[in-house]
Amino acid sequence: MTKETSAVEVAGSRRSRGDHGENGERAERGDRAVWHFTIHHDGVTIPVSRGGRGRLLVLCPGLNSTQADLRELTELLRHDHDVVTFDLRGHGRASAADRYSFEAFLSDLVAVMAELERLDLPSAPVLVGYSLGADLAVHYASEHLGTVAELVLIDGANPVPDPFITEADAAAFLAMWEELATQQGSLRDTARQVLLTAQEIFDLNVEVDVVRSGIRDRYRKIDRPISMIMSTSMAGGSGEGPAPRLNQNWRAGVERLVREQPYIATFWLDADHRLAFTHAPEIAQIIRNMLPARPTP
């Protein structure tokens, strides 16, 4: 199922919640309470925030993105959902780590979900992932059957026919991430900092190419509804350079997946890979329509 969407606005409401242990901290934002707490695992500290009203939803950020970057989307989703957000190791307020790998990031998500399982939740959460977070969500759901209600994947977890990084493009990508790492120096010690080096980011993208080459098998194991919100111009709208090839490859991956598993709902937004930041209202409305908020006593 494919749907084209347009800009919308979302309204909201409030729900308070219980403590999350000794390190729980409550902050008032508008008319809603947001709880902040930390999880310690694998030698790293993961900061978690929870707030909103309605159905529980866990939002997993991606590589080079933090829960602070996703604030607009989070706030919109909290109008109708009880939203949990967190930072992956080396991102935002999370601590640095000795290793940055797909499995290490997956362990961060597993730790957050395990903490939520300790709470007296009325139902399994919806798991939403952006970019790398979408890949983590698919792997988590395929390994922990029955622990999530459904998946929403934002511009990630795409079984593209060809690798994202080819040998011909490797130098250009590494240079791009070196420039990004330099720009992020101004964000050091803020909620938007990223502690990974350009080489670590490059290596992770190469690893993700390998992960995605086998992700179709992961999809086959998941017995919950899956929705994908994808960008039409993942690599930007330029008609020159690698962008047209990358964009075509991106769409081809989704189309092949949906042919194999037509139960996956797909929504295309006229945007690039930054859609979680640039098109937050549209994404929130899609999720709101897909996941009607359950009334809270």
Domains belonging to the chain, first-starting first, are 2-162+214-290 (3.40.50.1820)
The C-alpha atoms of residue 132 and residue 225 are separated, in whole angstroms, by 19
- According to DSSP, the residues that pair with 26 across neighbouring strands are 35
**Per-residue pLDDT reduced to its tens digit, 172-181:** 999 999 998 8
**Per-residue pLDDT reduced to its tens digit, 50-94:** 999 999 999 999 999 999 999 999 999 999 999 999 999 999 999
The C-alpha atoms of residue 46 and residue 38 are separated, in whole angstroms, by 5
Q: What is the mean pLDDT of residues 218-247?
A: 95
Predicted TM-score of the model (pTM): 0.89
The C-alpha atoms of residue 24 and residue 20 are separated, in whole angstroms, by 5
Q: What is the mean pLDDT of residues 29-39?
A: 78
**pLDDT for res 270:** 98
Quick one: tokens of 100? 């940055």
Cβ(296)–Cβ(15) under 8 Å?
yes
Highest mean pLDDT among 15-29, 31-45, 200-214: 200-214
**Per-residue pLDDT reduced to its tens digit, 134-145:** 999 999 999 999
Is it the case that residue 24 has pLDDT exceeding 90? no
Is it the case that residue 10 has pLDDT exceeding 70? no
- At 147, the pLDDT band (50, 70, 90 cuts) reads very high
Cβ(269)–Cβ(73) under 8 Å?
no
**pLDDT for res 25:** 60
Is it the case that residue 190 has pLDDT exceeding 90? yes
Is it the case that residue 4 has pLDDT exceeding 60? no
Average pLDDT value for the chain: 88
**pLDDT for res 291:** 67
**Pairing assessment for the beta strands 32-41 and 55-60 based on DSSP bridges:** unpaired
Cβ(29)–Cβ(36) under 8 Å?
no
